[in-house]
Amino acid sequence: MHRRTAFLATPALLVTLLVTLPGPPAEATPGAATFMLPRAGALTITAPVAMSLGSAPPGGTMTVQMQTMTVTDTREPGAGRWTASVSSTNYTRTTTPVVTIDRANMSYWSGPATATQGGGTFVPGQPTAAQRVSLSATRVAFSHVAIAGVNNCNWRPTLTMSIPFAGVTTGTYTGVITHSVA
């Protein structure tokens, strides 16, 4: 469906250009005209602004499902492929004594798509809790492959923080989880 729309829109634009361009003077030799149509649209990701994991004792875990993540791709024609990535900072208690919980203690799994629109294949980075990954490095959260055209994908990832047994103190720890798309 999206391919047909793109195919029909392009000839309509060309017809408009041909109708509005003046013809060459009778004595002129026709030449080639070159023009470029910029790609319309954008590739964006929407993520929750802030959230709380709650609390747990040393050696415990906290698990929370994030609000909906959305990638929207309106770059038609062309494009179609994208990869959403997720990364994390360390988690720091900023009051004295300053204490840090390493980002490797934060696990992530994307879960399946909760909604999709458009053609192609939407691929979760980690479909189930059994496939969760540590955020010790940047990870693939979701991707879209194959068919070009306008598309979007929603998912609700889950985070699990494992609190170390030693080296932590009571307090509020703050870190940043970043989702990006390219």
CB atoms within 10 A of CB 10: 12
Domains of the chain and CATH, by start: 39-181 (2.60.40)
- The tens digit of pLDDT for each residue in 48-103 reads 989 999 999 999 999 999 999 999 999 877 678 999 999 999 999 989 999 999 99
> What letter represents residue 89's amino acid?
T
Tokens representing 59 are 């050696």
- State the pLDDT confidence band at 39, using cuts at 50, 70 and 90: low
Give the whole-angstrom CA distance, residue 42 versus residue 47: 16
What per-residue confidence (pLDDT) applies to 10?
Answer: 26
Q: What angle do CA 40, 44, 46 make, to 5 degrees?
A: 150
Q: Is there a contact between 46 and 152 (Cβ–Cβ < 8 Å)?
A: no
Give the whole-angstrom CA distance, residue 22 versus residue 85: 49
Give the whole-angstrom CA distance, residue 179 versus residue 182: 11
Q: Which of 20-24, 53-57, 104-108, 136-140 has the lowest mean pLDDT?
A: 20-24
Residues 122-126 have a mean pLDDT of 98
Residues 161-179 have a mean pLDDT of 95
CB atoms within 10 A of CB 151: 23
